[in-house]
């Protein structure tokens, strides 16, 4: 199913949803690269502390078979909970996150080289408030991984660390989208298995959006809609309902 075939209004709704999905794709790659930086065996605990301190979310891993000297990061049963302001308990459940990388490139500077990155997502839950597209759990968690700025700015911020991912494989089994979390307006917009597999090659920080976030997000939405055509109507009705409520509140 082609995204371009939808009417303009529906295309707008899809683009808004893709924005959230693209941020999640970048977040997951950051988890892998930060895991290497955080010294392999101890990285789940360090990442959990970082997320808990900055966003209130928690990260746990059932099995960690990472070996930095062999150039391998391997998490099984990775779970990320939602920050405490959300009623839904879970953000992400991953069967496996595996990276085969060149360890010297993480020590010598320059582009960090990842030969293979495999991500098997069992369940992704996007939870939002009334306007779930701009106020949601994914943004909270993504912000929790951003560096904390210093008290003063005396020099320009350093450029992002370049990376090269030669082979990427992502599998997404199930997606849930909830709006109006914690209110009587709570509604499950999407809850379905999509069983999507996405692959890409030679990914860098410069082409990540074009090669991963955009195509991956588009495939997720297209697959979800092909399996549940009612999704487009539900998204449109949800937007209309929200606009009417905002107008009524503004007139009071």
- Calculate the average pLDDT of the chain: 77
CB atoms within 10 A of CB 200: 19
Question: How far apart, in whole angstroms, are the C-alpha atoms of residue 179 and residue 104?
Answer: 44
Query: By mean pLDDT, which of 99-113, 153-167, 193-207 is the weakest?
Result: 153-167
* Alpha-carbon torsion angle 61, 216, 140, 120, nearest 10: -10
How far apart are alpha carbons 34 and 75 in whole angstroms?
13
Could you identify the residue written with the tokens 């959990």? 48
**What is the percent of the chain with per-residue pLDDT over 70, rounded to a whole number?**
66
- How open is the CA angle 67-70-73, to the nearest 5 degrees? 40
Per-residue pLDDT at 7 exceeds 60: no
Return the H-helix or E-strand segment holding 100. Answer: strand 90-101
- Give, as one character, the DSSP assignment of residue 209: I
User: According to the model, what pLDDT value does residue 105 have?
Assistant: 83
pLDDT tier at 35 (50, 70, 90 boundaries)? low
Neighbouring CB atoms inside 10 A of 40's CB total 20
**Is pLDDT above 60 for 39?**
no
Task: Tell me: pLDDT of 175 over 70.
Answer: yes
Per DSSP bridges, beta strands 59-64 and 90-101 are unpaired
Largest distance between two CA atoms of the chain: 65
CA atoms within 13 A on the CB side of 226: 13
Q: Has residue 241 got a pLDDT over 70?
A: no
pLDDT of 5 above 60: no
Q: pTM for this structure?
A: 0.77
Supply the pLDDT for residue 108: 75
pLDDT of residue 212 exceeding 60, the answer is yes
Condensed to tens digits (0 to 9), the pLDDT of residues 124-162 reads: 998 988 777 778 888 888 777 665 555 555 556 566 678
Identify the residue whose tokens are 């991956």: 216
| Locus of tokens 């595996």 | 98
Note the pLDDT of residue 202.
Answer: 96
Q: Which residue has the tokens 């990427």?
A: 168
Mean pLDDT confidence for 28-33: 66
**What is the rounded distance in angstroms from the CA atom of residue 62 to the CA atom of residue 49?**
17
> Distance of CA 231 to CAs 20, 130, 250, Å?
16, 18, 29
Determine how many CB atoms are found less than 10 A away from the CB of residue 52: 16
pLDDT for res 118 = 93
Span 214-239, pLDDT tens digits: 888 788 777 777 766 665 555 555 55
Q: Inform me whether the pLDDT recorded for 17 exceeds 90.
A: no
pLDDT at 240: 54
In the block, tokens 């074009």 appear at 210
Q: What is the pLDDT of residue 3?
A: 42
The number of C-alpha atoms within 13 Å of 185 and in the hemisphere containing its C-beta is 12
């Amino acid at each position: 199913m082609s995204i371009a075939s939808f009417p303009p209004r529906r295309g707008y709704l899809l683009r808004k949803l893709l924005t959230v999905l693209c941020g999640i794709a970048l977040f997951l790659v950051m988890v892998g690269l930060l895991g290497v930086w955080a010294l392999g065996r101890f990285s789940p605990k360090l990442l959990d502390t970082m997320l808990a301190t900055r966003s209130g979310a928690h990260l746990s891993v059932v099995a960690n078979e990472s070996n930095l000297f062999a150039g391998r990061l391997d998490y099984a049963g990775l779970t990320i909970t939602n920050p405490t302001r959300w009623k839904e308990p879970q953000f992400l459940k991953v069967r496996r996150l595996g990276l085969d990388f060149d360890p010297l490139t993480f020590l010598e500077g320059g582009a960090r080289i990842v030969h293979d990155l495999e991500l098997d997502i069992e369940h992704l839950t996007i939870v939002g408030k009334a306007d779930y597209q701009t106020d949601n759990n994914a943004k909270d968690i993504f912000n929790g991984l951003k560096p904390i700025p210093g008290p003063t700015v005396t020099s320009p911020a350093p450029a992002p660390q370049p990376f090269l991912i030669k082979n990427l494989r992502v599998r997404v089994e199930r997606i849930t989208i909830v709006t109006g979390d914690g209110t009587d307006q709570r509604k499950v917009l999407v809850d379905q298995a999509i069983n999507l597999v996405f692959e890409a090659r030679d990914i860098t920080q410069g082409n990540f959006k074009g090669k991963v976030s955009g195509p991956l997000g588009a495939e997720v939405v297209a697959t979800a809609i092909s399996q549940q055509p009612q999704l487009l109507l539900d998204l449109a009705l949800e937007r209309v309902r929200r606009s009417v409520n905002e107008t009524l509140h503004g007139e009071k």
